[in-house]
Structure 1
């Protein structure tokens, strides 16, 4: 393939169009990505770089998939190396810590099921402890535009891989800003969903109560496409939850900090001017602006590293550090060990939690129906400056990011006008956890100057477009799930997989004496357990036809989910249990009869 056929900037939309026109194949795309990775090897983007040996099984698997049913068919993505990819070591940027997982992280599994290709494991600040991209024994990740500058971290390689055309999107993580700062420093979009909206099963924890998996992309539309596939409750992830996604809508107002932001580093003046230009751009959007007292966000941010939450990092990897002294990057080990300090007592944790709860209430009152705009970061540094003062430079990077997860906010970082030549600048729009639609709406208006339409499972009509057919959720727990023989019935009815979920702890699961074996889900008046299942979205026009195909003793009724919702789904008449095998203890059909 002529290397000029594939543009430097890869997007999901572009690649799908090229595939549809048969201008290129996924095999040719990944070959070019391998070439680019080899060419950029000195930038320290990868820990497990793209290779044809790693990628060929995913390429071959595409032959078994219908591109029309796979929204990410043939789309290459990078994975931060604290997120599991089956068969590839997860190092968290520490060779002594490495292990090789047998299965993908939950989010990776969903993306692969949608046709995406994980091309490699990306470099990061060790144990996701840092915001600069220099704290890795695998080398300092260079900024994608100016190699003397930092890339941002901890999701350093994930961002630079996208910016350098080695992935169409990438997975990062975000505890204190790691999914947003690298986006700003490399002219990308960085979306951080509400905590729990994406499952974190298969992620090496930093602060488990705050961790999010995130996406870097070249456009809002691409980030939203990934979000649609990745989000949803996962039956094996106790921190995942159902956070509905709605069409983008404009907020009632945009809030700005009343205090002038503090800027730092060798380009402080350029960043200050870029922020003023961004504010002027916000003023031109036609939405009311309100200046608010932002000191509460500063106080909340300070809790993350100056308070007891640093002990949660020690809880995650302290045992490894104690058993392997000197294995960690020196500055990383010093920070992690600070979590074992005696002042981080249970009493100090509860004091901080009570204080934080007050801040959450203030944030809810301030941001109801609104979004908050801040600089994503107040400056940048050269890599040499970070080497000279690794702690202070890193701390400065988190000034406008650290508060986000502590206050249970969602966020999207978007590019604004560059601060100088090849010196990107960006802003972040924050919203309440149940208001993701507002940050999408405001971001679209800021980036494109107009409201955007994103792929969404919502049933409302899109302005200027045909109405989306009315749909219903359907809970399936057996042969209609993904990978089983009757999945095709779901597809034939126009159904779309939404997420994994589980029932309320009130159900019995039995194996009916049929050929092939089928499950029966029975709600008990007392006792019972949670049973894993899948939620699909089906057009109402097909729902009646689908229900008519279901043989007795099965049927369609209301299934109560673990979050209290009741949705239509497969149920079984209670009399069938008398001649069936009770498999409730297995927790779900897949655990007894794996697909395939």
Structure 2
């Protein structure tokens, strides 16, 4: 706790408790953060640091919001500078590349909709190419605990911002391990969802087919809060897909490598001892342990940089790099240009894709109902050592991470004690994309020594929500009170009119037309059938529940409005949805 009474470790749970008790206000938290950022300025954490001109509109907005209705009300978060925040330059750690977006990345917008405060943009390995945190013209980001060591990359600034008390959580990106390695090196949780589970619209691509946004936090519970809010399809994002979040559960078994992982760097012996201690702890948990051959994962990892996927990075950035000679960080450009090698032919792409498909099948059989555990990193390096040997050291940092997104796995990096003084050690838990609940359950068991069994799954009903019950709006709490959970964003068929009803507060009404009409943006939630009747009883006329036709032709229960209401209500169909009217 600082002298101001503000905890050094900022967490969602703790800040919400302090706000609810009246012991703290967001303005005081922001003021304290600004002091911490200034004190750590030599650590090169931020590219666009927190500034009151940027933050004040978000503080002002909180005054008209009910804290109980917004799960992230007043929670400060940091954003890696390859993820768009409206009106703040996105540089990807390359000043010549910078542009100023006019809208937020989807995941940033979803946090703001839930009441969170974006603070600024954090440092990274340029163009998210690197796992070490030293490849930036904005300076080498220092490790949060031992400044002579690397911070990990590419999401270096985001991880260190959380670890140094500058933010309650932070967004990074993860293509080859960038959302996990910095978590391990700075004693944090790094949660990486399955590909597409969180939209990547508004993210500067590294390898768009493999890119994920991830979250850094001090606790698994905070990471899962962010996951619930970030998750869901964005119909304007071609990489987005519907992967439903489910309650944590334990895997049938935990998989460990049959051959001890290799360790590297100046603390290799200490890391090996920490791994042995972690394995001993795992074997004492109430989950079956099975030892497996890890070789297939090494073969997959080799495809990422030795195979044609490096050409995908070059395809995204070649126009900029060739048009701006000398503007790219030397080591970064060397890696990017390797994607233009003659060996990266069309034939090599298909050969690698076919190999990968077989590896995916093998992995699916191996990991069904299981969680695989590996060290997040097999060691670490000083910043000086990385500078002397930038390619090999970076390659070592990805030994146990590079396979993940190629195989479409989800992952969570968790703290697992200390290998030496102020030298964190971390594990990563991997599972299949359809089984994200398993990494959450296994991580909870490892971190706390116990797992609280969720209630048995209930029969659920889908509900189309188009107004004040959507995420971030005042009546979202009614959805949560009835045990509903958000599934995805969607749109109606082009057959609807939306009106603003003359009520206090104003509400939208969705009316299906016999002819004409437009597509209206909405959200799909799921609610237990047992709670659905009590929920519908709360809905005042002229609103009600009926069948809503979605854009894909399916029909689900949802909010509708009786036709007579259009005669006394304002037609707002052209807006495309209630969210665009009120925010």
TM-score by length of 2: 0.90
Q: Does 1:233 align with 2:233?
A: yes
Is residue 309 from structure 1 mapped to residue 309 from structure 2 by the alignment? Answer: yes
Residues 561 and 20 of structure 1: CA distance in aligned 2, closer, same or farther (over 3 Å): same
> Mapping of 1:173-192 within 5 angstroms?
173-192=173-192
Separation in 1 of the partners of 2:536 and 2:302?
55
Cα deviation 1:101-143 (Å, max 9, x = unaligned)? 1111111111111111111211000000000000000000000
Deviation at 1:510, TM superposition (A): 4.0
1:215-251 CA-to-partner distances (Å, cap 9, x unmatched) read: 0000111111111111111122121122111111111
Query: Is 1:476 equivalent to 2:468 in the alignment?
Result: no
CA contact (8 A) 2:110 2:230 kept: yes
Partners of 1:540 and 1:235 in 2: CA distance: 27
- Equivalent position of 2:494 in the other structure: 508
Which segments of 5 or more consecutive residues in structure 2 lack a partner in the other structure? 503-507
Deviation, structure 1 residue 508: 2.1
| Corresponding residue SS for 2:35 | helix
1:456 maps to none
Q: Specify whether residues 316 and 546 from structure 1 end up closer, same or farther in structure 2 by C-alpha distance, changes over 3 A only.
A: farther
State the secondary structure of the residue aligned to 1:92: coil
Aligned pair in 2 of structure 1 residues 18, 489: CA closer, same or farther (>3 Å)? closer
Q: Which residue of 1 aligns with 2:327?
A: 327
Pairwise CA distance, 1:557: 0.9
Paired residues for 1:118-517 under 5 Å: 118-452=118-452, 461=455, 472-477=461-466, 498=486, 500-503=488-491, 507-511=493-497
Who is 2:558 aligned against? 569
The worse-fitting range, judged by mean Cα deviation, of 538-547 and 77-86 is: 538-547
1:540 aligns with 2:532: yes
Where 1:371 maps in the other structure, the secondary structure is strand
Asked if 2 retains the 8 angstrom alpha-carbon contact of 1:522 and 1:573, the reply is no
Which shows bigger deviation, 307-316 or 529-538? 529-538
What's the CA shift for 1:561? 6.3
User: How far 1:549 moved relative to its partner?
Assistant: 2.6
Name the count of aligned residue pairs: 570
Paired with 2:134 and 2:45, the residues of 1 have a C-alpha distance of: 11
Aligned-partner Cα distance in 2 for 1:301–1:22: 50
| Contact 1:112/1:118 (8 A) holds in 2 | yes
Partner of 1:201, secondary structure, is: coil
What do the CA deviations read for 1:345-371 (whole angstroms, capped 9, x no partner)? 222111111110111111110011100
Which secondary structure state, in structure 1, belongs to the residue aligned with residue 420 of structure 2? Answer: coil
- CA distance, structure 1, for counterparts of residue 94 and residue 102 of structure 2: 19
Q: Measure the CA separation in 2 of the matches of 1:555 and 1:431.
A: 38
Tell me the alpha carbon deviations over residues 178-204 of structure 1, each in whole angstroms, 9 at most, x when there is no partner.
Answer: 000000000000000011111111111
Q: List aligned pairs for 1:2-21, cutoff 5 A.
A: 3-21=3-21
Is residue 130–residue 153 contact of structure 2 (8 Å, CA) maintained in 1? yes
Q: Report deviation, 1:212.
A: 0.5
Q: Secondary structure at the match of 1:419?
A: strand
Residue 481 of structure 1 contacts residue 534 of structure 1 at CA under 8 Å; is this kept in 2? Answer: yes
Query: Which residue in the other structure is 2:505 paired with?
Result: none
1:557 pairs with 2:557 = no
- 1:87 aligns to what SS in structure 2? coil
CA separation in 1, counterparts of 2:230 and 2:500?
35
Give the Cα–Cα distance (whole angstroms) in 2 for the partners of residues 89 and 412 of structure 1: 30
How far did 1:2 drift?
Answer: 6.8
Give yes or no for the alignment of 1:595 onto 2:572: no
Structure 1 portions without partners, runs of 5+ = 454-459, 463-467
Q: Is the 8 A contact 2:249 2:440 kept in 1?
A: yes
Instruction: Give, in angstroms, the shift of residue 318 of structure 1.
Output: 1.4
Moved more, 102-111 or 337-346: 337-346
Structure 1 residue 490, shift from structure 2 partner:
6.3
d(CA) in 2 for partners of 1:179, 1:227 = 14
**Cα offset, 1:300, TM superposition:** 0.4
State how far apart, in whole Å, the 2-side matches of 1:153 and 1:61 are: 34
Looking at structure 2, the residues matched to 478 and 151 of structure 1 have their Cα atoms a distance apart, in angstroms, of: 43
Please state how far the C-alpha of 1:482 moved relative to its aligned partner.
6.5
The separation in 2 between residues aligned to 1:89 and 1:111, in whole angstroms, is 19
Structure 2 CA distance for aligned equivalents of residues 482 and 407 of structure 1: 31
Of 379-388 and 495-504, more deviation after overlay is shown by 495-504
For 2:561 and 2:7, locate their aligned partners in 1 and report how far apart those are by CA, in whole Å.
Answer: 54
Query: Is the CA contact 2:70–2:474 (under 8 Å) kept in the aligned structure 1?
Result: no
> For the aligned residues, what is the CA RMSD?
3.1
Counterpart-to-counterpart distance in 2, 1:346 and 1:520:
51
Q: Is the 8 A contact 1:559 1:569 kept in 2?
A: no
CA distance in 2, matches of 1:199, 1:523: 34
The answer to whether the Cα contact below 8 Å between 2:499 and 2:572 also exists between their aligned partners in 1 is: no
Separation of aligned partners in 1, 2:2 and 2:11: 19
2:427 aligned counterpart, secondary structure: strand
